[in-house]
Structure 1
Amino acid sequence: MRSDRLGLLLDQFDCARERAQVRLAGLGDEEYLWEPVPGCWSIRPRAEATTPRAFGPGDWVLDQGAPEIPASEYAEVARQAADGMTVAKIADDWGVSVERVEQILGDSNPPEPDASPVTTIAWRLGHLHVDFAGRWEWTFGERRQDPRQLVDFTPDAALAADRFWALIDRWRDSVATVTDEQLDTVGFSQYPYGSDPDDPFFDALWGTNLEFIHHMSEIALLRDLWRARFSPQGQGPFEG
């Protein structure tokens, strides 16, 4: 195991990827699109989209609601302001109004838990796919294409997984070439949805690992729930 900064992050990513690929094996189309509760976000044919900002370049789009800053990110907003980022820049980064940012910064009460929609495996995998496709484009690519137009969503679970793992391999191979100087470079990644342009690449890379781990954990739990739903007394979840 490597002990340098980049090596630690690569080892963490490799371990998470290995476990995630095992947990995603055998995913079928019905499970992929399963909506465990009413009102789920998922991928849908363009003509059947129900959310105001659903996006994608093809016949299927990924659900997305109105812009908002989740309560879990209020501390990040406060950090951005403390580090000198203007309220206008914070609002632009999150896609919300200046007034909304000012409201968050001026509220000293503990935030209420997020009323976030439940999302399907298809949505979570699609969200991760967009994130990694966009980060590659705006870090190692031409830095010009809209991340929301880079992924052609599909109801075919096997095809979606194959495309996703190919992208993940490209990301990992590119990250492995980064130098120490680039790790410390502020704005080495110009990914437009987030604080990457204002952060050292090491911070952005750490956050990308976290994004991969937590969404893949959610997918693993949904797979457990899917299997338990059709098992006597809810027995027989996946191991791991």
Structure 2
Amino acid sequence: METDGVRTDRLGALLDQFDQAREMARVRLEGLGDEEHLWEPVAGCWSIRRREEAVTPRAYGPGAWVIDKGAADIPASEYAEVARQAAGGMTIEKIAEDWSVSTARVEEVLAFEGVPEPDVVPVTTIAWRLAHLHSCFAGEWEWTFGGRRRDPHELVDFTPSASLALERFWATIDRWRESVGAVTEEQLDTVGFSQYPYGSDPDDPYITVVAGANLEFIHHMAEIAVLRDLWRARSTGAGTPG
């Protein structure tokens, strides 16, 4: 269905949202340089690093550069999602497998009452956020439209070069967008149409997966935009407005 040229069907609305977010992100990322790409605004940042310089226990990547990844756990922000999965019939063993944690940890989360303490999460660089998105969308494509064989952690050759990272990133994003644009209504409602192994994709209808991908793209691009603002203020010596 269209209203004055605007699609109002389920997939059309999600694709229009994604296309607008992609264009805003493209404009926001123009002029990104290598130094800014890797800038660590505070101590203890997560970023991409040479393999031999990795500082996190599960850093991954197929080449000379890897992306930081910490120890496996269920963050406080996902307690409600774990409860939803369990209530929906997912076994504790499957939840534990998805999160790479023990069944005892899942049981601890499910037994928790009250409001959990906010997660203490590392600040991440622009390079990390781009690499994370690139890895997610490459894996989503492979395990939905591709051969569904390759490890998502081995799909993206990370690079410190901002221009090369963006060139590769947009190619992956556009391939994903083209494939999603051809999905049928029946496929949108198919549970497990995506078999992406790092998350709940195999247990969700694909329309939910697409909506989640939009959210992932938008919120990380918003974070990148803020980092670009901070980099510019740092470089120019701009202070707090009086």
Identify the TM-score tier after normalising by the shorter chain: over 0.9
Q: Is the 8 A contact 1:228 1:235 kept in 2?
A: no
Equivalent residue, structure 2, for 1:201? 206
Deviations 1:83-109 (A, max 9, x none): 011111111111111111111110102
Stretch moving more, 173-182 or 226-235: 226-235
1:158 aligns with 2:163: yes
Match of 2:89 among 84, 87, 106: 84
TM superposition shift of 1:22:
0.6
Flag structure 1 segments of 5+ consecutive residues without an equivalent: none
Q: Is the 8 A contact 1:133 1:167 kept in 2?
A: yes
* Counterparts of residues 53-202 of structure 1 (less than 5 Å): 53-202=58-207
TM superposition shift of 1:69:
1.1
Using structure 2 for the length normalisation, give the TM-score.
0.96
Equivalent residue, structure 2, for 1:22? 27
Distance 1:84 1:180 in 2: 25
Flag structure 2 segments of 5+ consecutive residues without an equivalent: 1-5
Q: Is the 8 A contact 1:90 1:101 kept in 2?
A: yes
Distance 2:88 2:62 in 1: 36
Distance 2:36 2:240 in 1: 17
Equivalent residue, structure 1, for 2:3? none
Distance 2:34 2:129 in 1: 14
Q: Is the 8 A contact 1:184 1:202 kept in 2?
A: yes
Equivalent residue, structure 2, for 1:31? 36
TM superposition shift of 1:71:
1.1
Q: Is the 8 A contact 1:196 1:204 kept in 2?
A: yes
1:222 aligns with 2:227: yes
Distance 2:238 2:228 in 1: 16
Distance 1:13 1:127 in 2: 17
CA RMSD of aligned residues (A): 1.1
* Counterparts of residues 41-56 of structure 1 (less than 5 Å): 41-56=46-61
Using structure 1 for the length normalisation, give the TM-score.
0.96
Aligned length: 236
Distance 1:35 1:233 in 2: 18
Distance 2:31 2:219 in 1: 20
Deviations 1:197-217 (A, max 9, x none): 000000011001100000011
Distance 1:154 1:233 in 2: 30
Amino acid at match of 1:7: G
TM superposition shift of 1:229:
1.1
Distance change (3 Å), C-alpha of 1:14 and 1:47: same
Deviations 1:121-167 (A, max 9, x none): 00000000000000000000000000100000001000000100011
TM superposition shift of 1:62:
0.5
Q: Percentage identity across aligned positions?
A: 72
TM superposition shift of 1:232:
3.8
Distance change (3 Å), C-alpha of 1:235 and 1:159: farther
Amino acid at match of 2:127: A
Distance 1:232 1:156 in 2: 25
TM superposition shift of 1:235:
7.2
SS at match of 2:13: helix
